[in-house]
Chain A
Amino acid sequence: MYTFSSKLKTFSFVLMILGALGMGYGFFTAPKTDDVKEMVHTKAEAHETDENDGAEHATAEMGSEEEHAHLEHVLHQAQNRPWSAFFISAFFFLMISVTVLVFYAIQWAAQAGWSIVLFRVMEAITAYILPGSILLFIFLLASGLHFNHMYAWMSPEAANDPILQEKSWWLNTSGWMIRGFVYLLAYNFFRWILRKNSIALDASGDIKIYKSTFNYSVVFLVIFAVFELFMSFDWLMSLDPHWYSQLYSFYVFASMLVSGITVIAIVTIYLRTKGFLPFVNSSHVHDLAVYMFGFSIFWAYFFFDQFMLQWYANIPEEAAYFHPRLVGTYQPLFIGMIILNFVFPFLILMDKDFKKTPWFVITAGLILLTGHFIDVYQLISPATVGNHWSFGIPEISSLFFFLGLFVFVIFNALTKASLHAKGNPFMKESEIYHYS
């Protein structure tokens, strides 16, 4: 039985309080709509001096009406910043716990033997799905009710856009909200039922429960495959409503699955060094590291597939998505992310002995998590805050808040049940699991 160490508890609370304060500051200091006229005057003067990306702003002789529209756009982007920061962190941590649930369901559906000793760790990480989806749903509500300008297709100007009119049978606010609610409801339902069954299995060891968990896992995997596809389209890809890529959902899934497995590995190693998981041996850690390595390459594969086809074809409406990322202001993030997410794990997780060394896996894991956070950041930011991105108080405090909440929820969930899922019929196989 795990006891929540007071140090960690304090740490998570400090993160949450600091984060909440910073987020409040971010929302409070975001420019108000009344400021738009003021900005027309002040920005017009500052216009020539602070623009460094010529293409978009090179129109010195812009008509005052156009200029006004442009400044309104800039204002919207500035107003979006705290929302964007909130969304990035909320999505990142929610998807980590959802993909951990997917990984967990895969273990059930495959009737895997090696991973049973890690089941309680995985279940604890999925405990974050409930608070995470509530917070994310607040964001969805706020977007749908026009508290922010994150989704361009929701704005009234979209009515004049023939492409968005064509897409409006899918991209309309009410449908979008209902779908968002259904996705989150499904994740929460399956998390609840799988956890309930796992605890019940501990008490009775009844094989019927085992079979029903298997069935639920299979159903969840099928439902998730469909929902994740549309969830990525709805929440992320529609930020750039003119652009599309069929690979996008798999790309997002790969990114989040690596992060999820990395979190499993880090929490496992942490608990093991504290002595709470005596039945986990270095072979289990090794196998988690293999998954981290493998799915990093999986991610790189999808990344490159999506990128290269559009880069090579160079069709304007497709290239518009990659322009800010590849050659625009997001270039350091875009290139840095490839190094962090592919080159580093590829080289440092290749050796078998390194995968068995806990501190090595932790280091690689932290690099991977940083890289995939940057990945989510560069997926969302170019469309919402535009070219003038920064990583300041709103972003850092959102990250702090959600990280604190995440740590608190998962370690609190670890105290709720024995860390040894003794009811599972494959437990013995997992305990003696040994990779040559």
Chain B
Amino acid sequence: MNNKVIQAMYDDDDVLLKAVKETREADYHIEEVFTPFPVHGLEKAMGLKGTRIAIASFIYGVIGFSFAIWMMNYMMIEDWPQNIGGKPNFSYAENMPSFIPIMFELTVFFAAHLMVITFYMRSKLWPFQEASNPDPRTTDDKFVMEVSLDGDEKKMSDFLKKTGAIELKVAEKS
């Protein structure tokens, strides 16, 4: 029964931000907000939890760093020791300064790429994924706030109109 939503459309991000705050104060549950660009302060207004992607990024960085250490040790010391610039090729520690650029690069490489992939996965943006925004205009200049419909539909519509919505639509949510 409770899978109906009202999609309220706004045409200004400041109005949207205000509407989000008012809607939450009125004890309605916001399912999702679709915007064509990141709106500052929206995640706070919606009460979303802080992102944990920074922690993930740190872990990926550590993985990349360790991988670089292992890789350079395997390549340059164990498997095929090479004499470059007369540096001792039997000792990792004494060769270490020349490996620091590689450590840096792989740390950044791992952190950046894995972080982007994680973000896509968490946002359900894998390949061949169908767009899930309710109205194509939200990719242009309109904003849509999805509020789950409970109780009186008329009362809720009036409330949303008052917050500045320019268009309202009731939709079935699967």
Contacts and interface: CB of A to CB of B under 8 A. Distances in A.
B98 A308 contact: yes
Contacts of A311: 97
A308 B86 CA distance: 14
Contacts of B87: 312
Interface string B75-88: 00000000001110
B111 to A, nearest CB: 12
A303 B100 CA distance: 13
B58 A312 contact: no
15 contacts: A304-B100, A307-B97, A308-B100, A308-B101, A311-B97, A312-B85, A312-B87, A312-B97, A312-B98, A314-B85, A314-B86, A350-B58, A351-B54, A352-B54, A436-B41
B40 to A, nearest CB: 8
Given A308-B97, A314-B86, 13 more contacts: A304-B97, A304-B100, A307-B97, A308-B98, A308-B100, A308-B101, A312-B97, A312-B98, A313-B85, A350-B58, A351-B54, A352-B54, A436-B41
Interface in B71-109: 85-87, 97-98, 100-101
Contacts of B58: 350
Interface string B2-37: 000000000000000000000000000000000000
Contacts of A351: 54
Interface of A: 304, 307-308, 311-314, 350-352, 436
Contacts of B40: 436
Contacts of B101: 308
B120 to A, nearest CB: 23
Contacts of B100: 304, 308
A314 B54 CA distance: 40
Contacts of A352: 54
Contacts of B54: 351-352
Contacts of A312: 85, 87, 97-98
Contacts of B85: 312-314
Interface of B: 40-41, 44, 54, 58, 85-87, 97-98, 100-101
A326 to B, nearest CB: 9
A307 B86 CA distance: 17
A329 B171 CA distance: 76
A82 to B, nearest CB: 35
Nearest to B58: A350
A296 B48 CA distance: 33
A312 B97 CA distance: 9
A286 to B, nearest CB: 15
Contacts of B41: 436
A312 B98 CA distance: 8
Contacts of A313: 85
A61 to B, nearest CB: 31
Contacts of B86: 314
A144 B97 CA distance: 39
Contacts of A304: 97, 100
Question: Nearest 9 CB-CB pairs, A to B?
Answer: A308-B97, A311-B97, A312-B85, A312-B98, A304-B100, A314-B85, A314-B86, A307-B97, A308-B100
B84 to A, nearest CB: 9
B124 to A, nearest CB: 25
A313 to B, nearest CB: 8
A314 B83 CA distance: 14
A351 B58 CA distance: 10
B88 to A, nearest CB: 12
Contacts of A436: 40-41, 44
A400 to B, nearest CB: 36
Contacts of A350: 58
A307 B97 CA distance: 9
Nearest to A313: B85
Nearest to A352: B54
A417 to B, nearest CB: 36
A436 B48 CA distance: 14
Nearest to A350: B58
A313 B101 CA distance: 16
Nearest to B100: A304
A216 B89 CA distance: 55
A352 B58 CA distance: 13
Nearest to B44: A436
A313 B98 CA distance: 11
A307 B58 CA distance: 27
Contacts of A314: 85-86
Contacts of A307: 97
Nearest to B86: A314
B151 to A, nearest CB: 34
A350 B54 CA distance: 10
A312 B58 CA distance: 30
B108 to A, nearest CB: 12
A304 B99 CA distance: 12
Nearest to B61: A350
A352 B23 CA distance: 30
Contacts of B44: 436
A307 B101 CA distance: 13
A352 B101 CA distance: 26
Which of A307, A312, A313, A351 has the most chain B CB atoms closer than 10 A to its own CB?
Answer: A312
B42 to A, nearest CB: 11
Nearest to B85: A312
A189 B40 CA distance: 43
Nearest to A351: B54
A312 B101 CA distance: 13
Nearest to B87: A312
A308 B40 CA distance: 43
